Amino acid sequence: MMERAGKKNSNNAGFQFWQQDNHPLEISSQSMAWQKLEYIHNNPVEAGIVEKPEDYLYSSARDYNSLKGMLDIILLDPITETV
């Protein structure tokens, strides 16, 4: 699979492991920031590494669940409902 991807891209000598492009998005709202954060927190769960996001030792999901993670982070403010 990596060899096939490498042959499709003239920037490679043989294999391609990482995606070489990115498409940055501006995080334009608090709800969008939370959506991206939840996506990141769920990556180890989707990969089958842990059962719950807060079980992953290097995840900020621990801090959002009143546990201490390995890294110092600044928590996002909770989304406030407006009526």
Neighbours of 61 (CB within 10 A): 22
Q: Which range of residues forms the domain containing residue 32?
A: 28-83
The model's pLDDT over 62-73, given as tens digits with 9 standing for 90+, comes to 999 999 988 899
| 46 inside domain | yes
In a domain, 13, yes or no: no
pLDDT tens-digit map of 5-54: 777 777 777 777 666 777 788 999 989 999 999 999 999 999 999 999 99
The confidence score (pLDDT) of residue 80 equals 64
What is the predicted pLDDT for the residue at 83? Answer: 43
Q: Based on the structure, what is the number of domains in the chain?
A: 1
Evaluate whether residue 57 is within a structural domain. Answer: yes
Residue 11 domain-assigned (yes or no)? no
What is the value of pTM for the model shown? 0.67
